[in-house]
Chains A and B, each alone.
Chain A
């Protein structure tokens, strides 16, 4: 039986899709079977970040509506054979998703995989609520910035009210993943610190992903960041976050960019 995880945030552009791809690849690398599901109907991007955009034939809506079978829509990753993608539809809108249809698809995925990661659309409307509906755990992606933290707080409220687990009176595991963190700016007091975010949202931290050029490079290439350069700081941070998601108790250290003496001397950003 799979562990169903929703990757959500409320606010758009904070790194949900990058995170879904990276955590999915990190978990699948250990040999566990992982399905990453794109719930962003009409604005799908998980296929692009995973480099599978030209292999999409059927999508989530086709499966929900019974036009295609689940195994016809699932796309196997070319690099990690235990990683599968269920893409969203690009042409339909989110109203084509029914509650029963989504419940059935998640139920089937739950039986076939070890992990099901649902990439939520931005917002707090129906699409986001459907993505979180059947989750056992939630990864709340937050940027160290006021509007993102506020929206995360809103999403936490929804997770505690609108998920199946919450309605049954059960606990849903919630973790914060801080992305686009700049340790230098935070230490100067120019950016919210990790302690501030954790205290305000009062949830455990899954990891800290530093602001890095490598993240953009990975999405340019269509390769999850943990595969494009596994030794890079964001890749290492994602690999550790995945282990924490599995329940490992690892110390969290604020990641720092490796800077050469020259860049330090001239104060330029490491490329």
Chain B
């Protein structure tokens, strides 16, 4: 309960992350920099889609820029229904 209250407060990091993802998409047609995220997302999605059916928004790419190194976090959600072999092996 206390934890939920505490967590509710920090909405700024969510805002920041949503903006970074959204703007990476919106900038690409205008030819502005840092569209790496959207390019990566499309390529990964294309590669996965050749083997498993996935929704376009099931591939999430996040970039954290640091001073020395940046990290890339890729999260891919695969639906259980359409990929029975994977589910069987996992359980």
Contact = CB atoms under 8 A, between A and B. Distances in A.
Contacts of A157: 27, 30, 32
A160 B16 CA distance: 23
A153 interface: yes
A189 B26 contact: no
Interface stretch (B4-12, B42-50, B53-61, B71-79): B4-12
Main secondary structure of the interface of B (DSSP, over half): helix
Given A150-B19, A153-B27, A157-B27, A189 B12 contact: yes
B13 A160 contact: no
B26 A196 contact: no
B32 A192 contact: no
B35 interface: no
A208 to B, nearest CB: 15
Contact of B19 (A146, A156, A189): A146
A95 interface: no
B23 A153 contact: yes
A192 B15 contact: yes
Contact of A153 (B15, B18, B26): B26
B30 A146 contact: no
Contact of A186 (B12, B18, B19, B27): B12
Contact of A192 (B12, B27, B30, B34): B12
B12 A150 contact: no
What size tier do the contact residues of chain A reach? 20 to 34
A149 B26 CA distance: 13
Contacts of B12: 186, 189-193, 196
A200 B22 CA distance: 11
Contacts of A193: 12
Interface in B15-43: 15-16, 18-20, 22-23, 26-27, 30, 32, 34
Given A196-B16, A200-B19, A154 B26 contact: yes
A200 B11 contact: no
B23 A192 contact: no
Given A157-B30, A160-B32, A199-B65, A150 B9 contact: no
A196 B65 CA distance: 11
A254 interface: no
A199 B17 CA distance: 12
Query: Among the interface residues B19, B34, B65, which one has the most CB atoms of the partner chain A within 10 A?
Result: B19
Given A150-B23, A189-B9, A190-B11, A161 B30 contact: yes
Contacts of B26: 150, 153-154
B15 A188 contact: no
A160 B32 CA distance: 9
A187 to B, nearest CB: 10
Given A150-B23, A157-B27, A160-B32, 8 more contacts: A188-B9, A188-B10, A189-B13, A190-B10, A191-B12, A192-B15, A196-B15, A202-B34
Interface of A: 145-146, 149-150, 153-154, 156-157, 160-161, 186, 188-193, 196, 199-200, 202
Q: Top 7 nearest A-B pairs by Cβ distance?
A: A189-B10, A157-B30, A196-B16, A189-B12, A146-B15, A153-B23, A192-B12
